[in-house]
């Protein structure tokens, strides 16, 4: 468990975590210069969710450019997200394997764009 802003920001700068933007919402304020670093019940829960995501499948694969890809894009619920999956045939079934994903919270100024 991080004990200060610097250690927390090293952990927080991660990508390729499913639903990262929604999980990080409660953690986002901890990196603000004006905020006193304090781990609440909500932030501890979010931190543990992110830590669990780092050790849980699915793992990202190296792309096989001979296979087709599927692109997912989402801009809703206060966050932006994108993911690229590779479509592989395993045991005669089409299976999506994650290759890349990224997400982040919408910034205050971006939320005003309408």
* 38-54 confidence digits (pLDDT tens): 888 988 988 888 788 77
Provide the number of structural domains found in the chain: 1
Record the pTM. Answer: 0.54
Q: What is the DSSP letter of 50?
A: H
The region that residue 78 occupies, defined by phi over 0 for left and psi between -120 and 50 for alpha, beta otherwise, is left
More confident residue, 14 or 105: 105
- Domain span holding position 68: 5-111
pLDDT at 12: 55
Cα separation, 23 vs 78, whole angstroms: 11
**Is pLDDT of 32 > 90?**
no
- Average pLDDT of the segment spanning 76-80: 79
């Amino acid at each position: 468990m991080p004990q200060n802003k610097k250690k927390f920001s090293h952990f927080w700068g991660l990508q390729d975590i499913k639903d990262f933007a929604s999980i990080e919402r409660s953690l986002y304020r901890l990196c603000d210069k004006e905020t006193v670093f304090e781990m609440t019940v909500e932030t501890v829960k979010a931190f543990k969710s992110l830590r669990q995501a780092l050790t849980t499948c699915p793992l990202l694969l190296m792309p096989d450019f001979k296979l087709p890809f599927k692109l997912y894009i989402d801009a809703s619920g206060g966050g932006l997200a994108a993911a690229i999956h590779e479509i592989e045939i395993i045991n005669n079934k089409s299976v999506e394997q994650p290759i890349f994903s990224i997400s982040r919270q919408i910034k205050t100024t971006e939320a005003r764009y309408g």
